[in-house]
Structure 1
Amino acid sequence: MQCIHKILIRALSLAALLSPTAFAQNGYPNKPINFIVPYGAGGSADSRSRQIAQKMSVILKQPIIIDNKPGAGGNIGTEFIARAAPDGYTIGMGNFAPMAVNKTLFGNLRYDPETDLSPIILIEKGPLVLVVNPNSPYKTIGDIVAAAKAKPSVLTFSSGGIGGSHQLSAELFELNADISMIHVPYKSGSAALTDLMGGNVDLMFDQMYSAVPSIKAGKLRAIAITSKKRSPLLPEVPSFAELGYPKVEVLNWQGLIAPKGTPKAIIEQLNAAANQALRDPALRELMLSQGNEIGGGTPAEFATLIKAEASKWSAVVKTANIKPE
């Protein structure tokens, strides 16, 4: 009887060791982790991914290898994550557009952000700032709205491409101000900003990290910011809420994701490592200096954010009748 009892205990112990949860607790990670960035090298998503990956690799005691898979507005890289083995050895950066916008915008994605991906943690979110050329006649939101109402579909706004936060911020503003402007998409945010500074377009909603240096240098004039409150980096710039447009709130965000089916224990381990990385003083100072809010929290909290954002931007895409290129 004792012999049978010992055999059962050994069998149960072996089964536990072979389970995904036990594997996460007793052996994960035991080889390098691939980190997919759905955008090209050198951009903001790539830079932040490398910074987070470096911190997490030290915590997890395994290399984390960055693999850039750009294209199709982030869809190619995000699909790659969704189709990877759910074993914790492929993770990636999940961004605003491919996670909350592109399902409605494209209509034929080969992945579903809700059913094919598992949120790990929010890394950061940051507002955009409405900017114009310093020689522009538009100095306030009132000036822009008045001009747009006087001459509908004449004012132009630039963006880094269809369906990104540059365009969607402007579309949300149009809907709430009941105005009509012309969208001028470029191949990148930097190209769109260059043409704005050259006086070829009227305005742009730009990311803080990109706009602030030019604002400080007098190369751009800031009109309003899309966060609920003013930014410490631009204390003189009012929020849209202050100016009577509380629904014009946009926070571009990104966070870590994994394929659906990745064991809960592995997700929790990655979440813990990322939370620890986000407490690093140097990384925090860098993120705050770029105008971002530092993320963190649980996978469930990140999932709730993604769901809310998908609902919000789906309505904007449909109402504004935004179509892919």
Structure 2
Amino acid sequence: MSSFATDRARSSNRPLSIVVLLGGWSAEREVSLASGRAVVGALRSRGHDVREFDPAEMDFFAYPWAGADAAFIALHGPFGEDGTVQSLLDQMRTPYTGSGPQASRLAMSKSASKQRFRATGLATPNGHTVHVLEAKDSAVQKAEAIGYPLVVKPDGQGSSIGVSMLESPHGLDEALEMAYRHDPLVVLEKFIPGREVTVAVLERRPLPPIEIQSGRAFFDFQAKYHDDTTRYVFDLDLPAGVIGRIEGAAVAAVDALGCTGVTRVDMRLDPQHEPWVLEVNTVPGLTDHSLVPKAAQRAGISFAELCEQLVLAKLSPATEANITRAA
């Protein structure tokens, strides 16, 4: 299979039949709809036959997947990012964008990801998991062991949904209660002071890092999708060599989980300019506020080209051969 760099220089010689999966049941439904519809428009602008599929409104197993060349996964959160839809599409023998089932499951779980990061020598904040059935004293003790400030986050949720930052033990009960609404397993994580940085990675190729300046303690849901005052800075004022370390950590994090396609690696950059990996997003947002399209544009890749080449990179050899013969 050709690399992303090779695919990028090539466009399909015939229109492809592409199904964009969007919407779903998760708390990120509205974000997914926005991402998916942006992808639909981009792929149609490249001349492809594109259809929308919302699993919350349509029967997955009754859908004529055999007629599709590929599926573009724009489903955020559970079902879309946890390996479920990837496994189903594997059963249907339909090529799809992004990572496979195992990598998706690992990346979706913040605690499992953290274990992989540590095992490969990546710096990641200290943390503990707390289950909804655990005694209250257990959560308090684990939080004290980590130390404040700390972040409380659902283990398997994205877009900073259900996430709180605490400067002290005050508010821990409320933060846990909010996180438990989204996942019975919650991660307590040491907050790393410094700067918020994210790196999009395309098939092991890091795109320009972005510093996020939101005016908030951390990059929460409001800042990600609704706050027009959030600033995205590409020209990072950093000592020589730091950008390379940030990019290297991003690629290493993606490799540690076995991810493919386009991913987004979120980090904190501490006052000593050391990158701390927080998580890897295997289905990053593709809305007008999203970071991957901004990074791709900075690297000279248009949004339409990005979407098309993510599909082309996943086509089966037989489909690629048919496209070649159709030229």
Range of TM-score over shorter length: 0.3 to 0.5
TM-score (norm 1): 0.34
Answer with 1 or 2: which has the greater Rg: 1
Higher helix share: 1
